[in-house]
Amino acid sequence: MTQKPARSRARSAARLAAVQALYQQEMEGTPLVLLLTEFHQHRLGATIDDVEYADAEVSFFDDVVKGVDARREELDALIAARLAAGWTMDRLDKPMRQILRAGAYELLARPDVSVATAISEYVDVAAAFYDKREKGFVNGLLDAIAKTVRA
């Protein structure tokens, strides 16, 4: 398997960190400015408990986190409209909500990122938290959103 180019690895790291930051924000109610500062100073590219975090593209990380924060209602409506009958955003696990929000944000607001790349990257992020079934769920839901927002 070939290794991703440095920019691609930095964006992958930014996506995973953005999902982690959004999760922390939802769990703790951390104000956006403090959240970004904490991740810039202590998480992105740092070594924590002998785990080395990859250098992330900071501007990309910031855009995803700020974009999801600013457009949460719009993103939640896009996601909720594609959930199965009887399912709501509140029924989704907190990490899953952040993965879908971040992926939907990229599809909606980052035309510089291809649909295939955005979906594939968030399926990869889902793999850090979930098994195969959930990865398929992320793939299908983001694909349905892409058909609407990138039509």
pLDDT at 53: 56
Whether this model's pTM surpasses 0.75: yes
The mean pLDDT of 54-70, rounded to a whole number, is: 91
Q: Amino acid letter at 102?
A: A
3 state SS of 37: helix
pLDDT in tens, 2-58: 556 666 788 998 999 999 999 999 999 999 999 999 888 877 766 555 555 567 888
Domains of the chain: 6-149 (1.10.940.10)
| CA distance linking residue 37 with residue 60, whole number of Å | 15
pLDDT in tens, 108-118: 999 999 999 99
Higher pLDDT, 46 or 98: 98
**Do 67 and 46 touch, CB atoms closer than 8 A?**
no
Residues 6 or more apart whose CB falls under 8 angstroms from that of 118 comprise 103, 106, 107, 110, 142, 146
pLDDT at 46: 60
pLDDT at 1: 47
Q: What are phi and psi of 34, to 5 degrees?
A: -65, -40
Burial classification of residue 36, based on how many CB atoms lie within 10 Å of its CB (0-12 exposed, 13-18 middle, 19 or more buried): buried
CA atoms within 13 A on the CB side of 50: 0
Percent of the chain with pLDDT over 90: 69
